Amino acid sequence: MSKSVSFAGMVVSGIVSILFLADLAVAIPFSRVSILADVGFILSSAILAYLSWSALMSRTEE
């Protein structure tokens, strides 16, 4: 896997986390329809960021 895929995963996770944190905090993008969905997307973006970071670090060790 190339480094660009890991960076793309980190960028996507950052964008998703910013969107849903903003929705949770001030109800701007999605009018805070479901708090449970906001928390779920924030957790999944954190998992994606960790997996992207882990893949990038294992790639640089080779």
At 1 the pLDDT is 62
At 24 the pLDDT is 95
Quick check: 9 pLDDT over 80? Answer: yes
Share above pLDDT 90 across residues of the chain, in percent, rounded to a whole number: 84
Q: Which residues span the domain enclosing 22?
A: 3-61
Instruction: Reduce the secondary structure of 24-49 to three states and give it as a string.
Output: HHHCCCCCCCCHHHHHHHHHHHHHHH
Instruction: Tell whether pTM > 0.75.
Output: yes
Give the count of domains, the chain. 1
